[in-house]
Amino acid sequence: MKKILFLGAVIVVFGITGCGKKEPTQKELNSHREMVAQESVKKILKDPDSAKFQNMKGLCGEVNSKNGFGAYTGFVRFIGTPEITIIEGENSQVDQATFNEVWSKMCT
C-alpha cells in the first residue's frame, strides 16, 4: 500500500512539474515585440485604425496611415517602444542623422 501511495505521489509531482510555464520561443518574443511596437505607434497617430504595417523587425518597421485630411501618407520607418516612439520625419526633436544612427543600431 505504501508503494502505491509513493508511486502515486511521484507521478503527481512529475506531472505538475511538466505543467510548468515554458520559456517563450524566439518567434513568440519577436511577435510580442512587434505587437508592442505597433501599439506604441498607434498611440501617436491621428487615425490609429488606419495604420498599415510592413517590414516589421522587433521594435522597428514601416507604417502608413491617414493624415488629418484622410489621405494615406506613404510608408515611413519607425522605432516603437513603450518608453519612446519615433516616426521618421515626424519628431522635430530627432533629426534625420540621429534617426538613421539609431535605426542602424536597433533595426538592421
pLDDT (tens digit, 9 = 90+) per residue, 67-101? 989 999 999 999 998 898 999 998 888 899 999 99
3 inside domain: no
6 inside domain: no
Higher pLDDT, 21 or 20: 21
5 inside domain: no
- List the single range of 30-34, 56-60, 91-95 with lowest mean pLDDT: 91-95
102 inside domain: yes
30 inside domain: yes
52 inside domain: yes
- pLDDT of residue 38 exceeding 50, the answer is yes
Task: Identify the domain containing residue 56 by its residue range.
Answer: 26-106
Task: Return d(Cα 11, Cα 94) in angstroms, integer.
Answer: 59
- The total number of structural domains in the chain stands at 1
pLDDT of residue 9: 36
19 inside domain: no
What backbone phi and psi angles, to 5 degrees, belong to 54?
A: -150, 165
66 inside domain: yes
Whole-model pTM? 0.75
